[in-house]
Amino acid sequence: MRSDVMSGPRRSQEGEGGHAAAHAAGSNGRGAAAALEPLLVHFFGGAPPVRFEFWDGTSLGPAGGHVLEVRSPDAVRRLLWAPGELGLARAFVEGDLSFRGDIFEMLALLHAAAPADLRTGTLVPLHAVRAAHRLGLLGLPLPAPAEEATTRGRVHSKGRDAQAVRHHYDVGNDFYALVLGPSMTYSCARFAPGVDTLEAAQESKHDLICRKLGLPAAGARILDVGCGWGSFALHAAGRYGAQVVGVTLSPAQASFARQRVVAAGLGDRIEIRVQDYRDVRDGPFDAIASVGMFEHVGSAKASEYFGAMRSLLGPRGRLLNHAISSIGGSRIGPRSFIGRYVFPDGELIDVGQVVVAMEDAGFEVRDVESLREHYARTLHCWVRNLEQHWDAAVAQVGVRRARVWQLYMAASANGFDDGGISVHQVLGVVPGPDGGSGMPPTRNGWG
């Protein structure tokens, strides 16, 4: 997902801490607004693009529907110690900052006005520090919210990858059910013509992948890498009769997926494992689906990953790699909001590099399809689900983690909307000894 927090959400979710700010017409020349104006001008290179309302009733910025409430002096303290995206994120997660207005539009405005180095931090000018000192805002750094990731070990080792995945996915199956809806599918849906609901769009995506992988095929054996809560496995086995092995690093996901398999009466067709893709040894498979998992692999491990996928396929075997991409590639750094709270060690790889890496591993790339606009629409649906079930979500995971998800999904939606990030399905096949692919001559084979 997009790693910069200043890129966009919609409806506000009021914070619980701090003091309510008054609705003033502008800075009254005293108090927090006047003292902190140099800091805001420094960050935005001029007047702030939205209205800032402070804990003492003063305000600064244009009148209108978009308001950033600075509900506590702790917000400024966090920003002084982590002057950039991370400090802002910590303040929002803790409730020291809150939005009023359309969160998607709010973040779009902030993103457009923010300097590029806001993501990694920028030096705070001395006069802004002095102003903060006059307000009594300086002091030792505040503790980071407990929701920040604390992964240990070598990046992309099996142990650290497992920590990163569990940080993100072992939040709670009931919470994910609120956000994702009945489909329990945590990847881009496909809103084909005539498909209007999120559930139908996820089914459309699953069906597209099945057909790209050559289903139906008698007795086809499919590997589902990063199987999540089992939705694709259930679709491939239930709709097309495939034999599916699903692997995930999340015990919570695996437990939920196994329950769904039993409930569907598909225990003879689906096996769900807690297993690293590097430890799968029981090939060959006829096809592999990797949906929403490649973001955790990293560019340094891409060759190893595609090599492992190639070794598990026989001649004419197919691989469908569905992953978020970024032009030129983008590492989700530890000083970013998403890197610290959502996807530790995540990396978005340029789709061109994906194609080359697949070819180097022995695949013939047969199709590349972008679903960028579909992911933006999917995320809008997820944010709406979260906001409609806000109280239940807070009861499940706490208000701080609920804020993390609201912000990350809304910001990511804006990233897909404006083209800052994309998502691609890349389909490859292992040619047979005679060069035959077994592929249909046109895309009409999968619609």
Q: Which domain holds residue 362?
A: 158-445
Say which residues have a Cβ less than 8 Å from residue 19's Cβ, sequence separation at least 6. Answer: 55, 56, 71, 72
| Residues 247 and 391 grouped into a single domain | yes
> How wide is the angle at C-alpha 394 spanned by C-alphas 389 and 400, nearest 5°?
125
In this structure, the number of other CB atoms found within 10 A of the CB of residue 281 comes to: 8
219 and 257 housed in the same domain? yes
Say if pTM beats, i.e. exceeds, 0.75.
yes
Q: What is the CA radius of gyration of the chain?
A: 23
Question: Could you tell me if residue 391 is inside a domain?
Answer: yes
Looking at the structure, do residues 79 and 221 belong to the same domain, yes or no?
no
**pLDDT tens across 304-354, in order?**
999 999 999 999 999 999 999 999 988 877 778 888 888 787 899 999 999
DSSP 8-state secondary structure symbol assigned to residue 299: G
State whether 184 and 302 are in the same domain: yes
- Return the closest-CA partner of residue 373 out of 322, 415, 331: 415
> Do 278 and 320 sit in the same domain of this protein?
yes
What is the DSSP pairing of strand 67-70 with strand 97-100?
A: antiparallel
337 and 302 in a common domain = yes
Instruction: Write out pLDDT tens, residues 128-177.
Output: 677 777 777 777 788 888 888 777 777 668 788 777 777 667 788 999 99
Cis peptide bond prior to 216, omega within 30° of 0: yes
Is the residue at 143 inside a domain?
A: no
Count how many domains the chain has: 2
- Given a contact cutoff of 8 angstroms between Cβ atoms, the answer to whether 348 and 295 are in contact is yes
Same domain, 182 and 108: no
Per-residue pLDDT of the chain (447 residues; tens, 9 = 90+): 333 333 333 334 443 333 333 333 334 446 889 888 887 887 787 889 999 999 999 999 998 789 999 999 999 888 878 877 888 889 999 999 998 989 999 999 988 887 665 544 455 667 667 777 777 777 778 888 888 877 777 766 878 877 777 766 778 899 999 999 999 999 999 999 999 999 999 999 999 999 999 998 888 999 999 999 999 999 999 999 999 999 999 999 999 999 999 999 999 999 999 999 999 999 999 999 999 999 999 899 999 999 999 999 999 999 999 999 999 988 877 778 888 888 787 899 999 999 999 999 999 999 999 999 999 999 999 999 999 999 999 999 999 999 999 999 999 999 999 999 999 999 999 999 999 999 999 998 886
Query: 174 and 92, same structural domain?
Result: no
Give the SS3 label for residue 333.
coil
- In this structure, what CATH number is given to the domain that contains residue 244? 3.40.50.150
- Is residue 153 assigned to a domain? no
Cα–Cα distance for residue pair 339/377, rounded to 1 Å: 23
Peptide bond between residue 284 and the one before it cis (omega within 30 degrees of 0):
yes
**Do residues 128 and 254 both lie within one domain?**
no
Look at the block and give the residue holding tokens 């999340």.
Answer: 250
In a domain, 65, yes or no: yes
Residue that terminates a domain, selected from 89, 119, 134: 134
Question: Is the same domain home to 110 and 250?
Answer: no
* Bridge-based pairing state of the strands 347-348 and 364-370: unpaired
Rounded Cα distance between 131 and 199, Å, is 52
Q: Do 98 and 179 fall into the same domain? A: no
Share of the chain residues as helix, strand and coil, in percent rounded to the nearest 5: 45, 15, 40
